[in-house]
Amino acid sequence: MWGVRDEIEKLKDVLMAIQAVLVDAEEQQLHNREITFWLRKFKGGCYHVEDLLDEVEIEALRKKVLERGGSTGRKVDNFFSSSNPLAFRFRMGRKIREAKEMLDEIAINKSKFHLLEGRPPPLRT
């Protein structure tokens, strides 16, 4: 998919880096409003990435369905439709790069809070 898979892997890496500090961020947000705002941006970014991954999955399923029923006429219609696979790849590549840039910014901002990575969740009594 001309780099789309690589971009998705990069997105996952950034998400994992941010997730490593979530427990500490959730604890500290009680005392720091900036962290609360940062967490909201991160959650919004996660929803955005989830939507993108859903789009990729739906396109993959649509492609499988078309391959099974594959008449030449349908393939030609598909090529000229708005769901053209080539156009989809370009569109998704752009969307994924934009999402990665947004998450990169969120990841950079996390450093100003000095959050600890990998803290275990607090015990609940």
The closest of 114, 102, 124 to 43, measured between CA atoms, is: 102
The closest of 119, 124, 98, 125 to 23, measured between CA atoms, is: 119
The 10s digit of each residue's pLDDT in 66-103 is: 777 756 555 555 554 556 777 888 888 888 889 989 98
Tell me the domain boundaries of the chain.
4-110
Distances (CA, A) of 107 to 19, 90, 100, 111: 10, 25, 10, 7
Q: What is the largest CA-CA distance in the chain?
A: 64
The closest of 118, 109, 111 to 40, measured between CA atoms, is: 109
Q: Which residue has the tokens 């008449």?
A: 71
User: Residue 16 pLDDT > 80, yes or no?
Assistant: yes
pTM given for the model: 0.69
Per-residue confidence (pLDDT) for residue 80, from 0 to 100: 46
- H or E element at residue 16: helix 4-19
